[in-house]
Chain A
Amino acid sequence: MAKVELRGVNKQFGSVHVIKDINLTVEDHEFVVFVGPSGCGKSTLLRLIAGLEEITSGEIDIDGARVDHLAPARRGVAMVFQSYALYPHFTVAQNMGYALRVAKEDKAVIDRKVREAAEILQLTEYLDRKPKALSGGQRQRVAIGRAIVRDPKVFLFDEPLSNLDAKLRVQMRIELTRLHRELNATMIYVTHDQVEAMTMADKIVVLRDGRVEQIGAPLDLYNTPDNRFVAGFIGSPAMNFFAGRAESVSDAGVEVALEGGTRFTFPCETPGVKAGDVVEFGVRPEHFSIGGNGDGGSDGALKGEVYAVERLGGETYLYLNSGSYRDIVAHMSGDAPISIGDSVEIGFSLARSHLFGPDGQSIR
């Protein structure tokens, strides 16, 4: 297994600059997830590492050796594709052994490695079947098996679970995490689904428009997002944002005025804003306290009218409008005795809230 390093990597398709100066280190044995909205360049970045696209400038190292000029097969990477990309006319065993066959490996060795991988993935009884005769989840496992058989330095996954149904996706998520532990491999995983990113990653790389927005452990991104984009992207349902004004800046922090007269002083060390600036105040749905219930605290509150209630049994989501702040989402555990049309007060604690300057950067 190996460390992957990207230094100043750029990629241009004609005049379109899709990957912009990426610097990134994936440590040995690490499970790193590239996440971002569609079109952010995450798949392209993965393809650059795989060697399926050529970088325009920069350097890619795998296991200490520069690989950006090498063909994909010589980089020691294996890739699992979104559509599985199984060879339809080969059996499962042939699919899994193809790379070794191309490498002119001994037939007995291929057979042994395929069987070992099939064992890990519980595919032994399907080895003679064609992909067509397998379910989606089994196909996905074959695709993973094909990667395992090659014993690569780095596993690359390109949205491998997005073709599966919700239940299977959860199951495969756990399976992949288990696999990562068992193989003790370096894995890079691309997804647009932040839940996958949060649950599987050791480290998340949030991308937007071909740039890295933030790199960090899942909970670091959740608790201390660097900017408004990361704050809005990580967490589900997404963080609520309230536009406001910085009234004054002092040693104690930034005094923020929201619409409707709510005022508070947001404590911070380096404000980076001046009085009169437009700021955005962010609170996650699960960090509100409603009608004095919950641990949201009461450093401040907004009054809103409930226009929709989603009861999931174990938890309840409220959708509110408060003046010009529309579509506020608040989370309550359990079944809340609140109905549509109710006017409720949602309180927030500043310790669990976020403030963003006019440039979208986090104020901490």
Chain B
Amino acid sequence: MEHRRNAGLETWLMYIFLIGSTIAVLYPIFMMLMSGFKTNAEIFGAPFSLPKSLNLDNYKTIWTTTDVPRYLLNSAIVTIISVALLLVTGTMAAYAISRYKFRGAIMVSMFFLAGLMLPLRLAIIPLFVQMKSMGLVDNLLGLIFIYTAMSLPSTVFILSGFLRALPGELEDSARVDGASELRIMVEIMVPLITPALVIAGIYNAVPIWNDFFFPLIFIQTPENRTLAQGLTTFFGEYSVNFGVLYAGLTLAALPIVVVFIIQSRRFIAGMTAGAIK
């Protein structure tokens, strides 16, 4: 009986801790979401109260009078293309490193690993010069290339771990079945690492979506701004209207949250892969 009661207490303490951390994480997001529906007067009058009604005026303001939709589109283009490019090239690189024995394989993987350790921002001046000479400054394509290159090391690192764990007999079996190396990779091996692809995708999509630094340096014309960068100018303009600001922030956070919720099952499956046999 004694033992049972102890176990109960432990469980309760754990629940309290988990509920507490959940509130700590979710409350600011909840506040942001709610404040987006409030008027300025409501926000200042009763900052912690719920909005009086689901007032969409703030969103209307954003949609009709600001450039936020444009920024959203730019961010979406940059993020989606970068992640797609990243996963394709990352998978190919990781596949070669982890499934084939060749001279210099270790060198190549070390090269990618080095990319994880070097702060790219230190090389911003030469990078700018290089991008300028290629005509990629103030161009979304420039951002896409930078993000792809920047995220490649972590992607290769994550994917090669998963690819290495796949049994070699699958490959042999497909070879006996007559499949080409490309076909083995695309049809047999890569589908088996979808959880890893989801992890690598989300892991890199979030910082790309939220990135402020590279657009600040490489993007000049307002039409090419991405969301994070655009929101700062928006902060200046709307510093008096907090409702609109919160609505803008909510819009900025929404896509990633939605993607995460949709893919969370796979994400978690990937994170815990191999933990339980």
Contacts and interface: CB of A to CB of B under 8 A. Distances in A.
A137 B18 CA distance: 44
Contact of A83 (B169, B175, B183): B169
A106 to B, nearest CB: 16
A89 interface: yes
Given A87-B188, A88-B192, A99 B170 contact: no
A77 B177 contact: no
Interface string B162-184: 00000101101111111100010
Contacts of A233: none
B174 to A, nearest CB: 8
A52 B175 contact: yes
Contacts of B174: 87, 98
Q: Chain B at the A interface: mostly helix, strand, loop or mixed?
A: helix
Contacts of B177: 73, 98-99, 102, 146, 150
Given A83-B167, A85-B167, A78 B176 contact: yes
Contact of A89 (B173, B176, B191): B191
A50 interface: yes
Interface string B181-221: 00100001001100000000000000000000000000000
A72 B179 CA distance: 10
Interface string A70-108: 011110011101110101110000000011001100000
B169 A72 contact: no
Given A87-B188, A89-B191, A89-B192, A50 B169 contact: no
Contacts of A47: 172
Contacts of B173: 79, 81, 85, 87, 146
Contact of A79 (B176, B179, B183, B188): B176
B175 A72 contact: yes
Interface in A27-57: 47, 50-52
B93 to A, nearest CB: 23
B175 A73 contact: yes
Contact of A82 (B169, B179, B188): B169
Please indicate which of the listed interface residues A79, A85, A102, A103 has the most CB atoms of chain B within 10 Å of its own CB: A85
A348 B30 CA distance: 89
B175 to A, nearest CB: 5
A94 to B, nearest CB: 10
Contacts of B170: 85, 87
Contacts of B175: 51-52, 71-73
Nearest to A73: B178
A220 B59 CA distance: 88
Contacts of B192: 88-89
B183 to A, nearest CB: 7
Nearest to B166: A88
B169 A81 contact: yes
Contact of B172 (A52, A74, A146): A52
A141 to B, nearest CB: 15
A323 B150 CA distance: 75
Contacts of A85: 167, 169-170, 172-173
User: Which 10 A-B residue pairings sit nearest by Cβ, starting from the closest?
Assistant: A73-B178, A99-B177, A85-B173, A85-B169, A81-B169, A72-B176, A102-B178, A89-B191, A79-B176, A102-B179
Interface of B: 167, 169-170, 172-179, 183, 188, 191-192
Interface of A: 47, 50-52, 71-74, 77-79, 81-83, 85, 87-89, 98-99, 102-103, 146, 150
Given A51-B176, A87-B173, A89-B192, 12 more contacts: A52-B175, A52-B176, A71-B178, A77-B176, A81-B173, A85-B167, A85-B172, A87-B174, A99-B178, A102-B177, A103-B178, A150-B177
